[in-house]
Amino acid sequence: MIITCKQKQFQLNQGETLKEALKEEINDNIITCNFNNEIKSLNYKPKTDGKVELLDYTSTEGKRVYVRGIMYIMAMAIDEIYKNSQLTINYQLDNSMFCTFEKQEITEELLEKIKKRMQEIIKEDIPIVKVTMTKEEAKAFYEKEQSLRGKLQINTETKEEISLYYCKEYYNYFYGVMPISTGYMKVFDLVKYGKGFLLRYPSKKNPKQLTEFKENKKLSLILDEYEEIHEILKLNTIYRLNKSVEGDNGKETILLSEGLHEKKISDIADQVANRKGSKMILIAGPSSSGKTTFAKRLGIQLRLNGIQPKTLSVDNYFVEREQNPVDENGEYDFECIEAVDLKLFNEHILRLLAGEEVELPTFDFATRTQKI
């Protein structure tokens, strides 16, 4: 088989890994790779010819693999030190994962002990091996390994095979590609935070050191609030949510979710109504995240408060096709800020704030043209 990497061709023998075939090109910074447009482990054994892009921590996928790896090492260290503990990795804050223990006090001494064991595991540079089991084998394995209780929530009912990652005597389930050994994740820290602690890791721009943690208290409060709600509803894991939707409570779960969302929108509308003199509400989010739907539902709640809002969609302010910027591959980049007619948008906003009238544009996505 022929593997192309950095415009060079390499001969790959049957059963040989990408790391073995590309050893001349792989340095200590390379943590994963893209093979024929799929993220693969460096231990992947191709069955066909292909193109390989080597990825380090400064790439999005490389960072994901690093974070996955350091979480695995943390879970491994905790399993060794506190066998019966229940660790929950809740959500991401800045370049950190917020984690908690169930029914266990988090102290500086505890974190230092875990951190020390993690450093030892990293220094040993132990291979992390992917092991594939049938769902019957996985069920038998989990029944035997009581320390991994709850891990069968990966839902063997819908999978014929279950992939686990094995390191020394430790098994765990992680979705996605992992580093091939523990030696890659050298930069990390454990820091007490709120009711739990932060597993810190470097940013893509500074892969060799930890940057200052930028706290976002509003985001933390919102995430904590939703964690508590989901805990009360017993929907705090994907497995429990799937089971609820599959079972008799599916409709109730959807109604609860919609009710919660509507309550939040109502609260926002009340705050706007009580904040006299407000002229504008800005709603931001990525493509297809629900901004337009949210704006319509917020508009209903505002009208119930005696306010008559008008909605402006940035979608109608896109520039025409020939003015749209292109990316590094020469394809139109519809996500960059320059894809929006900022001059016209800003002009309209300023005129509206001044109490003037404007004629809003409409944008035809089929022809990529703007009309006023």
CATH for 277-371?
3.40.50.300
User: How far from 326 is each of 31, 318, 366, CA to CA, in Å?
Assistant: 30, 14, 18
**Poorest-pLDDT segment among 38-47, 177-186, 233-242, 294-303:** 233-242
Residue 198 has pLDDT above 90, yes or no: yes
Domain 2-56 has CATH 3.10.20: yes
Widest pairwise Cα distance in the chain: 73
The residues spanned by each domain of the chain are 2-56, 62-213, 277-371
Q: How far apart are CA 338 and CA 324, in angstroms?
A: 7
Is the pLDDT assigned to residue 40 strictly greater than 90? yes
Least confident among 15-29, 148-162, 233-247, 280-294:
148-162
Q: How far apart are CA 102 and CA 60, in angstroms?
A: 31
CATH code for the part of the protein at 62-213: 3.30.980.10
Residue 139, pLDDT score: 73
pLDDT of the residue at 233: 77
| pLDDT exceeds 90 at position 13 | no
> So what's the pLDDT on residue 55?
94
Identify whether the C-beta of residue 30 lies closer than 8 Å to the C-beta of residue 179.
Answer: no
Contact by Cβ (8 Å): 18, 38: no
pLDDT of the residue at 86 = 80
Query: Model confidence over 67-86: pLDDT tens digits?
Result: 999 999 999 999 888 877 78
pLDDT at 150 (0 to 100)? 46
Q: What is the model's pLDDT at position 174?
A: 82
Tens digits of per-residue pLDDT, 103-150? 778 999 999 999 999 999 999 999 999 988 887 777 777 676 655 544
The residue type of 142 is: Y
